[in-house]
Amino acid sequence: MEKVLLYDTTLRDGMQGENIFFSPEDKVKIAKRLDDAGIHYIEGGWPGSNPGAQHFFEMAKNMEFKNAKVAAFGSTRRQGKTCEEDANLTALINSQAPVITIFGKSWDLHVESIMENTKAENLAMIKESVAYLITHNREVFYDAEHFFDGYKANPDYALNTLEAAVEGGTKCLVLCDTNGGSLPCEIESITRKAIEHFKGTPGLIFGIHTHNDCAMAVANSATAVHAGATMVQGTVNGYGERCGNADLTAIIPILALKMNRDCMSRENLKKILNLSRFISETANVPPVNSRPFVGKSAFAHKGGVHVSAIMKNPRAYEHISPELVGNKRRVIVSEQSGKSNIEYKARELGVDIGKNGVTGHQIVSSIKELEDYGFEFDAAEGSLKLIMEKLTDQFVPYFELESFRVVVEKDKERPCYSHAMIKIRVGNKTEITSAEGEGPVSALDNALRKALTTIYPQIDDLHLVDFKVRVIDGMDGTDAKVRVLIESRDENNIFSTIGVSEDIIEASWQALADSFQYKLSLDNKNPIHNKKAK
């Protein structure tokens, strides 16, 4: 297996993405997770550009990494200055990062039209900057910015810029598709020509750095490796400027599982999903369900024919085993489901659908009727389990609603104020409680918790994560049915529940009550529940 080095630039290039921000403390936490996952190089930022990056490098000096080396990023010296006079190079050295990555211009358009420089001076800037940094005992990588566009415009000069970096002493040339406009066929051809140009240069390796403006970043990275590159740069979740960078959560499994490259151990490969979610949560950006390999939907099956097939052999509709990347197979139940979906999902959720004479076809029919009414069980597996238990007469509630009342007040002196009173029955005992909240759903939630906490103390670690409301059919205006989806979590689980009604408060109550019922069903050893079940 040929070795491929992984270079992460989430903490620098990823932060150039819209709405992506990491504090220095966030960057430290992310760096530790990247190191734990087996990433070889972690680019921490541009120390000469902002105080946040500088602060990260100060903290990184005292960090111990078991796998990764920290890299500082910057540019070549400015035109007309010596390396010793250049503040950017000084900041790179003072960062004390063991690896320094500098970029220079490969495209004569940028050299002459943008920088208003000469080609000769640009070559000198590259060579002298690399050589200067190497004299300070640093491992120096050279990012050839706009290399593919530069090669297409003027191949001789683009190669001259690489020659300057090699003459300066670098052992790593990174070819960059900075505008993200190149196609895999171009990446293949140009990468091979660049590598062939330096054939025989001892110890020299090539890397690839791609952007996703044509939705080709991952494909272009894999193609460059196929052409001979042995380092891949990218960001977790593909965060980056404009349309983003190459997504390491896709590149790494492709390299390891599809191209048989030695880039990450099988043990660390299973951490990719959690790494993706951790960085998504730290960035406060919702995960993309359709993201390959690590997305919630990456191994989800909805069509009845598909489900029937994977029950016999998962390879029929899965290109890899989801467990290899820490993911899991999901079967979705919806109006498009068949009997196979119900049987698979029932086993997964621990529901015996063969009880009480109810058939899988009857359950499918009932589910489809509910979805026609407005429910959407592929997005609410918590409620799905409860519905299947109800349809098979196995559901024993942990509590039952007798009534609730919600009052919302508003006057010109203060914002809306909500108060809820709730009456529930637990076993043979009736509980009546009231509570306030920031809104009607908050007030109901607080009242329900108040009523249940002394009986079911485990609900203390149940927290609402997300609350979504959608009008099902806007033709009826404010009388339309609404769908409420609630996502909840406890210490070990994340689950969703659903409610549908013409009244938004009733729909919210349905979803809220299901979240509590499902949470309590995760531990069905409660004596009140067992006693009633008998």
> Got the DSSP string for 173-212?
EEEEETTS---HHHHHHHHHHHHHHTTT-TT-EEEEEEB-
**C-alpha to C-alpha distance for 253 and 35, rounded to whole angstroms:** 17
Residues 336 and 440 grouped into a single domain: no
pLDDT tens per residue across span 363-421: 878 888 888 888 888 778 888 889 888 888 888 899 999 999 999 988 777 778 899 99
Whether residue 127 has pLDDT greater than 90: yes
**C-alpha to C-alpha distance for 44 and 450, rounded to whole angstroms:** 47
pLDDT tens per residue across span 245-254: 999 999 999 9
* Straight-line distance from the first to the last Cα atom of the chain, in angstroms, rounded to the nearest whole number: 60
180 in Cβ contact with 149 (< 8 Å): no
Mean pLDDT for 42-47 is 94
Last residue of a domain, one of 227, 256, 283: 283
Whether residue 335 has pLDDT greater than 80: no
In-domain check, residue 288: no
pLDDT at position 423 is 94
Q: What is the DSSP letter of 235?
A: B
**C-alpha to C-alpha distance for 188 and 130, rounded to whole angstroms:** 27
Q: Specify which residues 468 forms β-bridges with.
A: 485
Residues 221 and 154 grouped into a single domain: yes
Give percent of the chain above pLDDT 90: 64
pLDDT at position 137 is 93
If DSSP codes are grouped into helix, strand and coil, which group holds residue 79? Answer: coil
Query: Is pLDDT larger for residue 491 or for residue 103?
Result: 103
Q: Which residue has the tokens 């709405």?
A: 19
In-domain check, residue 111: yes
Residues 464 and 409 grouped into a single domain: yes
pLDDT tens per residue across span 141-151: 999 999 999 99
Residues 529 and 408 grouped into a single domain: yes
In-domain check, residue 439: yes
In-domain check, residue 340: yes
Residues 265 and 304 grouped into a single domain: no
Last residue of a domain, one of 283, 312, 331: 283
Residues 365 and 407 grouped into a single domain: no
> What CATH number does the domain containing 411 carry?
3.30.160.270
2 in Cβ contact with 231 (< 8 Å): no
Mean pLDDT for 273-289 is 89
45 in Cβ contact with 269 (< 8 Å): no
**C-alpha to C-alpha distance for 407 and 437, rounded to whole angstroms:** 10
> What CATH number does the domain containing 132 carry?
3.20.20.70
Give percent of the chain above pLDDT 70: 95
Residues 406 and 368 grouped into a single domain: no
Q: Which residue has the tokens 């109810």?
A: 358
Residues 214 and 350 grouped into a single domain: no
Query: Angle 41-46-47 (CA atoms, 0-180°, nearest 5)?
Result: 110
Residues 11 and 72 grouped into a single domain: yes
Residues 354 and 408 grouped into a single domain: no
pLDDT at position 524 is 66
H or E segment to which residue 368 belongs: helix 360-373
Mean pLDDT for 199-227 is 97
Residues 524 and 450 grouped into a single domain: yes
Whether residue 327 has pLDDT greater than 70: yes
- Reported confidence tier of residue 337, pLDDT bands at 50, 70, 90: low
510 in Cβ contact with 499 (< 8 Å): yes
Whether residue 42 has pLDDT greater than 50: yes
Whether residue 155 has pLDDT greater than 80: yes
pLDDT tens per residue across span 491-533: 777 888 999 999 999 999 999 999 999 999 887 644 444 444 3
Look up the domain containing 479 and give its range.
400-533
**C-alpha to C-alpha distance for 61 and 268, rounded to whole angstroms:** 25
Number of domains in the chain: 3
**C-alpha to C-alpha distance for 308 and 343, rounded to whole angstroms:** 10
Residues 319 and 466 grouped into a single domain: no
Burial 295-333 (b: 16+ CB within 10 A, else e): bbebbbbbbbebbbbbbeeeeeebebebeebbbebbbbb
Token representation of residue 521: 């069903």
In-domain check, residue 289: no
**C-alpha to C-alpha distance for 45 and 52, rounded to whole angstroms:** 9
pLDDT at position 532 is 43
- What sign has the CA pseudo-torsion 444, 445, 450, 454? positive
Last residue of a domain, one of 391, 413, 432: 391
Q: What is the DSSP letter of 77?
A: P
pLDDT at position 40 is 98
